[in-house]
Amino acid sequence: MTIKSFNLVVKGPMWGVRHLQVLFLFLCATLIVAQRFNMSVAIVAFTNANSSNPNYPEYRLTEPQKSYTISSPFWGSCCTQMMSGYLSSRFGAKVLLLTIMLLTALLSIATPFALAWGGWQLLFWVRFVQGLAMGGMWPCLYTHLAKWCPKKEANRMGGIMTTGLDCGTIMGFALSGVLSASPLGWPSTFYVPGYLGIVWCLTFLRYGANSPSESKFISLAERKHIQFALEQNQVIRGATPPVPWLQILTSRPFIVLAFCKMSQACSFYTLMQQIPRYIHGIFHYSIAANALLSALPFVVMLMSSYGFIFLAEYLTRRRDISLPILRKTINSFATWTPAVALVILSYVSDQNVVGSMFCLIAATAAISGQAIGSSLNHVDLSPNFAGLLFGMSNTLMSAAGVISPIVIGLTVTKESDRSQWRTVFLGISVILFLGNLMYLIFGQMTVQSWNDSPSKETETEASPKPQASAPSVAEETISVERFNYL
């Protein structure tokens, strides 16, 4: 069978079920990230009731206990990244995403009760288990995206999905501060996202699907458009290739990518976890003002995320910029700009609030480009195992989320001492510089040979070559995708 019409491959419905799936992924990321980072503001509220709502109980935690509590979800995330990536690649992401969201939401609702009944120790373990569930989210998101997103729409749809991280951070900071200072008190910072997560589960259960072929609501035109556009047609038809573990673990492009993502995580998680502590220690603002100022850099980050999406679309469609140049250029800006901003922040005067906030805003706004720069590189290297690759690299990123608050807790023993914060910021800047330098030299954006099943490659070699006059559907599809990569 041959493809009769070029339009069958490159054209499809402007709006369809694939966009609904991306919306689900965006909301999933928003709600789970909000539940991961709301503790950064809530811990300030329930350890200093006078700064929020004194009608709710106050708990005394030492600085090391605060660090352990903030980092506890990342301890759990380290344990489930790879398993989630493997399971989602093999069996689909829908059931896993439902389980992850439901468990995360229920534990979020139970968090205030855990603190009241068992103190910070029980709170640590509740957040740890919540982190176990949260850790599986990103691999599932990328697996689901790879099944629904044609490559020419990857920058736009993948970028929109990853902005859920920015929205979740804003929600975790700003909304938590507003709720903590409201009559609902700091416990509502855990109740609100928890109940919203349950609503998401009910909706996704109805309208979510592992792939276009499983969806009950997709049109035939859109299904064919997605299936012909994807390179991994064997996965859509149900044949799942075995995981080439040895090839993945020895792949230089993937090793470099994983190291780059870990270096970026050091800055990203430090900013997300420590901005409320930094503002509270240096400037001594109230919980509401602290939360709003902490969220401000991430509001700008959200806006810059869409700027990077439109820039990538323009450069690839209008200026014909190659994928390697696009990825490496944007990733360099998204990595080295925060490094420079943190160096400047280290030497800004204690009285210069505007200068300090400008450095924080510049650092976080630039970080948003990492989604286009390197995060989608997992799909570039292996569409079939994108979730697994992201799970493996995100395990290292979660390790950075564990190590970062502990190291900072040992380094910053006095929150108002800027010299201690300077040591942290300068160390992160060095890590960022080295990580991106390796990515520039050794990073690749081509599908790796181990992406396909070895058995399929063997069969292809053993089978007679097709005549030039009768090319197969797979061959024509791949040739079209190479011409229309983005």
- 8 A C-beta contact, residue 260 and residue 438: yes
Per-residue confidence (pLDDT) for residue 192, from 0 to 100: 93
Give the pLDDT confidence of 251-305 residue by residue, as tens digits. Answer: 999 999 988 888 888 887 777 777 777 877 787 777 777 777 777 887 887 788 7
- On whether residue 465 sits in a domain, the answer given is no
Per-residue confidence (pLDDT) for residue 203, from 0 to 100: 94
Which of the two residues, 139 and 229, has the higher pLDDT score? 139
- 8 A C-beta contact, residue 149 and residue 400: no
- On whether residue 468 sits in a domain, the answer given is no
Map the chain to HEC letters.
CCCCCCHHHHCCCCCCHHHHHHHHHHHHHHHHHHHHHHHHHHHHHHCCHHHCCCCCCCCCCCHHHHHHHHHHHHHHHHHHHHHHHHHHHHHCCHHHHHHHHHHHHHHHHHHHHHHHHHHHHHHHHHHHHHHHHHCCHHHHHHHHHHHHCCHHHHHHHHHHHHHHHHHHHHHHHHHHHHHHHCCCCCCHHHHHHHHHHHHHHHHHHHHCCCCHHHCCCCCHHHHHHHHHHCCCHHHHCCCCCCCCHHHHHCCHHHHHHHHHHHHHHHHHHHHHHHHHHHHHHHHCCCHHHHHHHHHHHHHHHHHHHHHHHHHHHHHHHCCCCCHHHHHHHHHHHHHHHHHHHHHHHHCCCCCCHHHHHHHHHHHHHHHCCHHHHHHCHHHHHCCCCHHHHHHHHHHHHHHHHHHHHHHHHHHCCCCCCHHHHHHHHHHHHHHHHHHHHHHHHHCCCCCCHHHCCHHHHHHHHHCCCCCCCCCCHHHHHHHHHHHCCC
Residue type at position 197? G
% of the chain beyond a pLDDT of 70: 85
Q: How far apart are CA 379 and CA 371, in angstroms?
A: 12
- On whether residue 5 sits in a domain, the answer given is no
What's the pTM?
Answer: 0.67
Q: How far apart are CA 262 and CA 256, in angstroms?
A: 10
Per-residue confidence (pLDDT) for residue 156, from 0 to 100: 76
DSSP 54: T
Structural domain harbouring 445? 14-460
DSSP 466: P
Per-residue confidence (pLDDT) for residue 231, from 0 to 100: 53
Give the pLDDT confidence of 174-184 residue by residue, as tens digits. Answer: 888 888 888 88
How does residue 483 score in pLDDT terms, banded at 50, 70 and 90? very low
Which residues, 6 or more positions from 137, have their beta carbon under 8 angstroms from its beta carbon?
Answer: 28, 29, 32, 84, 97, 100
Question: Residue written as tokens 């996704």?
Answer: 204
The whole-chain average pLDDT of the chain stands at 78
- 8 A C-beta contact, residue 78 and residue 395: yes
How does residue 2 score in pLDDT terms, banded at 50, 70 and 90? very low
Per-residue confidence (pLDDT) for residue 8, from 0 to 100: 42
> For residue 473, what is the enclosing H or E element?
helix 473-483
As given in the structure block, the two tokens for residue 261 are 């993502």
Which of the two residues, 222 and 201, has the higher pLDDT score? 201
Per-residue confidence (pLDDT) for residue 461, from 0 to 100: 43
pLDDT at 227 over 70: yes
- On whether residue 381 sits in a domain, the answer given is yes
- On whether residue 477 sits in a domain, the answer given is no
pLDDT at 475 over 60: no
Q: How far apart are CA 476 and CA 246, in angstroms?
A: 30
Which of the two residues, 409 and 343, has the higher pLDDT score? 343
Give the pLDDT confidence of 421-464 residue by residue, as tens digits. Answer: 888 889 889 999 998 999 999 888 888 888 875 544 444 444 44
- 8 A C-beta contact, residue 349 and residue 320: no
Vertex 374: Cα angle to 368 and 376 (nearest 5):
95
Give the pLDDT confidence of 381-408 residue by residue, as tens digits. Answer: 887 787 778 778 877 887 777 787 778 8
Which residues, 6 or more positions from 447, have their beta carbon under 8 angstroms from its beta carbon?
Answer: 231, 380, 381, 382, 383
**Domain count of the fold of the chain:** 1
CB atoms within 10 A of CB 398: 27
Question: Residue written as tokens 């190479």?
Answer: 482
- On whether residue 165 sits in a domain, the answer given is yes
Give the pLDDT confidence of 454-469 residue by residue, as tens digits. Answer: 544 444 444 444 444 4
How does residue 343 score in pLDDT terms, banded at 50, 70 and 90? very high
pLDDT at 355 over 80: yes
- On whether residue 3 sits in a domain, the answer given is no
Q: How far apart are CA 358 and CA 10, in angstroms?
A: 43
Three-state DSSP class for 11? coil
Mean pLDDT within 111-139: 89
Q: How far apart are CA 287 and CA 180, in angstroms?
A: 8
Per-residue confidence (pLDDT) for residue 190, from 0 to 100: 92
- On whether residue 305 sits in a domain, the answer given is yes
CATH code for the domain of 159: 1.20.1250.20
Per-residue confidence (pLDDT) for residue 13, from 0 to 100: 63
Give the pLDDT confidence of 148-207 residue by residue, as tens digits. Answer: 877 677 667 877 888 888 788 888 878 888 888 888 888 999 999 999 999 999 999 999
Q: Where are the beta strands (DSSP E) in 250-409?
A: none
Per-residue confidence (pLDDT) for residue 122, from 0 to 100: 93
Mean pLDDT within 6-10: 43
Most confident of 11-20, 135-144, 235-244: 135-144
